[in-house]
A and B are shown apart, each in its own frame.
Chain A
């Protein structure tokens, strides 16, 4: 079965702009989680969506938002980009029920200049 697909793979944006990243989970998976990975902070949890509802949220400012569609695809949006938002953004797919390993996409590398 197809893995987790994240698009785009790379992105360069200017400070102040906004960006939308996309994640298509494994077919049948209803949970999508987003993480930000930077050398300084490691992997930080952003939020989790399950059946189109945000079920959990990490400690990120309101500039970071997301949504999930009825087909479980998810998007995350970052508005008013800052230099510090440069990171690898990873999305993880799971069934969303019980205990299980996550399947990660290859990530979107965002560079803010």
Chain B
């Protein structure tokens, strides 16, 4: 099954700056999701973007999807120390009537106060 690949692997910024993370994938998708994980905890769903959508916003989050380039980006504006976490993109594969998210290895974001 395909897997999204996040880039960069790690990102270190100062509070107030914007953080941009990218995700590339190999085959066609129906949807792409972004999740966040605080150290050693479960993942929290941030946003889902469908293949016919190009951009979605949720608070300080902005996600874009370019299906021609098979890539997505997650922008966090005006970052805060509390945004420090790992961020994962998940592409779906359809199997057995359900959509199974397949996760990349994540981008580790550190926001310095």
Contacts and interface: CB of A to CB of B under 8 A. Distances in A.
A106 B99 contact: no
Chain B interface, >50% SS class? strand
Contact of B98 (A31, A43, A90, A107): A31
A62 interface: no
B95 interface: yes
Contacts of B41: 106-107
A109 interface: yes
Given A42-B105, A42-B106, A43-B88, A99 B43 contact: no
Contacts of B44: 104
Contacts of A6: 42
Interface string A80-108: 00000000101010001001111111110
Contacts of B30: 99
Contact of A48 (B35, B40, B45, B100): B100
Contacts of A105: 42
A55 interface: yes
A45 interface: yes
A33 B88 CA distance: 17
Interface string A38-64: 000011010010100001100000000
Contacts of B104: 42
A48 B1 CA distance: 15
A55 B93 CA distance: 13
Contacts of A21: none
Interface of B: 1, 30-31, 33, 35, 40-45, 48, 50, 88, 92, 95-106
